Structure 1
């Protein structure tokens, strides 16, 4: 199950990775969470807890559809944060097998960086108009000391029985310092893209589309975090 980032949708952000995973044999699901009523074209802008409840309900629905004992979560940016957050806060840890979080603002980032991200995405899909009309609740909740950050940092983030991989780039310009993405707890694999591909300059948005990141996602899902692959040139954006 793939979780998009701030201001994105199920068909824009992780959709290409979803197709790649499906071609690899995965049964994949995605939906737009956190959209305002009447405007389904921009997601991830509503209250973090409201979105988390929505995602948890979808996890249960996917399990019902498929008969699967557990669901794997792969998220980017806010979606990466949500993959960690819903597993901890929504009573569904027993339903989750693997979490792979790409560039999550786990320990908070700056308000300016989240607004920059929203504006960058707005250049493509009109999130700027939605921000003017409704605002961006996660833009404060995901800052250092924000309500969602305070909640996820209250006790261990990693839940028993769930396998975690956190990925980010040393050149991520929006979730900074980049170390704030990582979960420094027993059993969590934390990796920089450059640990595998030192010359990859990929930035925050590009991490969703970078084939090096995709291979690292597959490594995490398949329990082979150190498996090597052929590196490609990443996007600095």
Structure 2
């Protein structure tokens, strides 16, 4: 099965590089927002085959309720579906994200920007800081379950299949791995992973927190999310909330992870909070045994 899956991914790789550069800013972005309590605007970066309106949308609203000014976009849209992002090659999406961060900084007048990303968005947060020439504009980076060191081709194929099944069930939409440049970039040995992990990942002045779950079924093993460098705090959600069993997609909806992210943004890693039940397991994505 693994050989067949890898072969299938290679067979469609030519489609993955088809350019279709565009992004969509969240219409709810409020550039007049200012917060004395949290002066750094927070840019939210969604995951693979997602958008500004799903994945981190609940976390974004929750952060707004905590007096943060948040901004999001749908990046990496391809010709497969103009409503779904996180599809084009990592380097192409990174340019869109960099431009968006610069625009947020310019329009808000902020001196620094914080980033929160989930899955591919977490990877992109690390990637744009390293290659986007904007590290000096960034302060705190919170990466939730980033595929930092790559995902096995079978894992990412099962993840894409699960997304396809769930979206067909919920919205009548259909997605495949064909044309998904990010899918290839984020696999073990993929172009994006190879470039990010070549040399030091974290840039001077950036404070990075990486949050992962031991029950993540897409990152396998889950510790491949972590970066072991100075300036990085790696956190298992289970070390804070032992009964948390969240999987990959629900990590973006897990309130325990939200609170860990809040602690990172506020620079209060020791702040205690009440742990709650994990979100339901994601439909359609097999769990590794």
Quickly name the TM-score band, shorter chain normalised: over 0.9
Candidates 84, 98, 122, aligned match of 2:126: 84
Name the CA shift for 1:181/1:38 in 2 (closer, same or farther; >3 Å).
closer
TM-score (norm 1): 0.95
2:115 to 73, 93, 96: 73
> 1:21 and 2:63 equivalent?
yes
Residue among 184, 197, 202 paired with 2:246: 202
State the secondary structure of the residue aligned to 1:29: strand
Report whether the alignment pairs 1:163 with 2:207. yes
Alignment deviations for residues 214-235 of structure 1 (CA, whole Å, 9 cap, x no partner): 0001011111223221000102
How much has 1:37 moved relative to structure 2? 4.5
Deviations 1:147-168 (A, max 9, x none): 1111011111110001100001
| Unmatched tracts of structure 1, length 5 or more | none
Correspondent of 2:176 among 119, 131, 135? 131
Q: What is the TM-score when the length of structure 2 is the normalising length?
A: 0.78
Counterpart residue number, 1:33: 75
Q: Tell me which structure has the larger Cα radius of gyration.
A: 2
Which sits farther off after the overlay, 162-171 or 136-145? 136-145
Q: Which residue of 1 aligns with 2:147?
A: 105
- Count of residues paired in the alignment: 236
Residue number in structure 2 paired with 1:153: 197
Cα drift, residue 194 of structure 1 = 0.4
Shift in Å, 1:95: 1.0
1:228 aligns with 2:272: yes
Q: Conserved in 1, the CA contact under 8 Å of 2:56 and 2:253? A: yes
Q: CA deviation at 1:120?
A: 2.1
Shift of 1:128: 7.2
Shift of 1:10: 0.2
Whether the aligned pair in 1 keeps the contact of 2:206 and 2:231 (CA below 8 Å) is no
Root mean square deviation, CA, Å: 1.6
CA shift digits 1:28-87 (9 cap, x unpaired): 000100001483211101010000000000000101110011111100000010000110
Cα drift, residue 121 of structure 1 = 2.2
